[in-house]
Structure 1
Amino acid sequence: MEKLKILIINNYGQTCHLIHRSLRDLGMDAKLVPNTSSVEDILKAAPDGLVFSGGPTMDRVGNGEQLIRIDLPILGICLGHQLMAKTYGGEIRTGHLGGFARIDIEVLEEDDILKGMAPKTVVWASHQDEVAKLPPEFIQLARSNVCEIEAMKHKTKPLYGVQWHPEVSHTEKGIDLLKNFLEVCSSHK
């Protein structure tokens, strides 16, 4: 795979550095940038894609609502997934199961990002907050018995969100999900 430039928007999550390392280990030019960066600064860096990390709270997403509208392939992880949903007109809520836990995921639609993961996979996720209602123009890709919207994508744009953390070793096929996202970035160039 060609070397792509991927910016990781740091939302102060516990695993931001694992996302960075996972992408570097896959041979990518990956860089952590603050979520207070401007749209102009992000565009000046000329990335091939953006990853929005997890984080503690929607109150700390900085310029996230502007950045997540940039016309590039975007993967939202945990809080990034929720930020994407909220920004594009969906709804989020406090989940019934807080803290990190092993979750069995039912893949409803493999599509680009979940290619090779159906019919089920095991992930590591926090459900302190979760997507309660899909935004218009998005489709559901996965669910669990904990949360109905574990993964989603936009119908026509390369926008993807997952509630779980593909960058942690407890997630089966997490690196495959990141590779799938990189394929999307490569084909979008």
Structure 2
Amino acid sequence: MEVFVVNNYGQFNHLIHRSIREIVPAKIISNETPAEEIEADGLILGGGPSLGRAGECREYLTKLDVPILGICLGLQLMAETFGGRVEKGAVGGYAEVDVEVLEEDDILKGLPSKIRTWASHADQVVRLPQQFRVLARSQVCEIEAMRHETRPLYGVQWHPEVVHTEGGTRLLENFIELCRERR
């Protein structure tokens, strides 16, 4: 069992890697790694500064048949790849955001209905892609978390890997469990 964390040049990618590595073997890979070279049980698309520097992430989303969790920029890439829309947010910079869990689902299983998170909304998903559903929202953003209806694709705007996010470890453990179930 191994999970790859895709480095999209974000400041938290190494922290995502460390958080996952504490649960299962994990490694960081370049976002320029060809999809056909990826042999992992799950993939996490980490955050980063821009959609324009996302390398092969769109290929991973359309070609790989493993659970994929998009965090921040990873969520936005997922939305755009499948026809959603991303725009500048009204609230930029990292800050505490209270998120309302609308649907517990696989990835948010065991989390309370309201959680305090650490997130940036400099960019955010403003239109949900077809075949996706909203799992969580906040007063800042209507699409804080989403998932594909039939494929194991999940995305969250907030950063579960930081200590300031309530239930972050649980969310990552839920993702690892999904990866184990699909092996």
Does the alignment reach a TM-score above 0.5?
yes
Quote the residue 2:136 is aligned against: 142
- TM score, norm. by length of structure 1: 0.95
Aligned-pair CA distance for 1:64: 1.3
- Residue in structure 2 matched with residue 56 of structure 1 by the alignment: 49
Distance 1:25 1:72 in 2: 20
Q: Which runs of 5+ in 1 are unaligned?
A: none
Question: Given the alignment of the two structures, is residue 11 of structure 1 paired with residue 8 of structure 2, yes or no?
Answer: yes
Moved over 6 A (4+): none
TM-score between both structures, scaled by the size of structure 2: 0.98
Cα deviation, residue 77, structure 1: 0.1
Post-superposition shift, 1:86? Answer: 0.4
Segments of structure 2 that go 5 or more residues without pairing to the other structure are none
**Cα deviation, residue 118, structure 1:** 3.0
What is the correspondence of 1:131-170 to structure 2 with a 5 Å cutoff? Answer: 131-170=125-164
Aligned residues: 182
Give SS of 2:92's match. coil
1:69-126 Cα offsets, whole Å, 9 max, x none, are 2111000000000000000111110000000000000000000000111311010000
Cα deviations by residue, 1:24-59 (Å, 9 ceiling, x for unpaired) = 111x110100001101111xxx21000000000111
Give the alignment's Cα RMSD to 1 decimal: 0.7
State yes or no: 1:178 paired with 2:172. yes
Is the counterpart of residue 39 in structure 1 residue 35 in structure 2? yes
Q: Secondary structure at the match of 1:124?
A: strand
SS of residue matched to 1:116 = coil
Q: Contact (CA 8 Å) 1:108, 1:118: kept in 2 or not? A: no
Match status 1:75 vs 2:69: yes
